[in-house]
Structure 1
């Protein structure tokens, strides 16, 4: 596949609803459920329920307009600030948060989450809780020194980054540069949670082929340590599904904290 024809997520954008349908829906032919839904929910639930990652502000910097990765976080933070590079993704996410007609149905993910938590009777409460915990969905520019200029965000207790670095980094230097930016947004001792895909070169969304940065677990770990983070937990899961939509080899979850 010609790498020159691949689009950059943060430059060209993509069809945010098509992305949800292909990679995060409950359609019978959606084969990514174990990796895109279950793996993040399980690991984030486990991480947050240990009780040492909590506080006032969590900043979410993730690809697309999904919401299921914030279900656990909303129980441990007063405010979740969501940053998006695309107006289209902001509109899609706000449609859900405002309970508008035509919003993507996250019921299958909510059901999975409350079952993993062992709280199947709290389905409705979970969706209401996540909506009430997100006061702002904001546009950001990843290339600016202050990504939310002219607004200055408060230092975060935690930053959650799901699949964003995979889509916006062109090389290893980019990966380290963005980690450095995230570090500056964190309080001393603050936590960084990363979800990514290993060995990926592309992702298809509709008629578009999106660039993906190729890296492995060893690189990600060394990059974090090199930027002043201490890794508290790291787990990978090998891919088992079959699809030509994306060519990743495994999915990774890393929990780390910024050295004081």
Structure 2
């Protein structure tokens, strides 16, 4: 009987011990230390580019891998510039975000433009092959907002854009809601040089975007975002159902079988 009691106590203790995969506190600390992820004090996406092929965005106002002069530029004397920049969050979003319903997304692009980008006005070289500025904000595979800017001017300027969140688009589910800011525009230049370079006619085309704090998207992230219950999600595993729990159950089943077998042996004696 003493053996059966001892085994029963062991099984009970095993059932009460919580099992978790890895050191959760360490994982949470690592996430908090990544300044590129959103937090209660970091709710702005900043746009970055390496000046070659790579564009990205994240929540840190500093990035040493972006261009040293803080701008992205393409220019041409005579021809078409096709701007197609996808600023995808890198690293991927690792938190669920809840936007305030009716809260306002506020974005700004700072640009410096030259050339022609208007079709059909007979005031420049565009021949139905140009395109005015378009800004699209996506979260994961979902399009949140598209803005077509028709009042762009020559020279340096700031382009503001806004959007109000609804109940249908205010939840961004971590990597499945990874944000992307897509910027497109087509500009044409028609500068020509003659007489051995002594004369020039027409105008070049140039697209310059200022990066970092000059081109950004402010998000109305609700304070409930940072609560553990929201981060767990409706389909999140409860603590006792975390990886490793099956091992405890299996061990308990083996121990219970041993108790039953021991009981039968004692009864036979």
The answer, yes or no, to whether TM exceeds 0.5 is no
TM-score under structure 1 length normalisation: 0.22
TM-score under structure 2 length normalisation: 0.21
Whose Rg is larger? Answer: 2
Q: Greater share of helix residues, 1 or 2?
A: 1
Q: Greater share of strand residues, 1 or 2?
A: 2
* Higher RCO structure, 1 or 2 (CA under 8 Å, sep 6+): 2
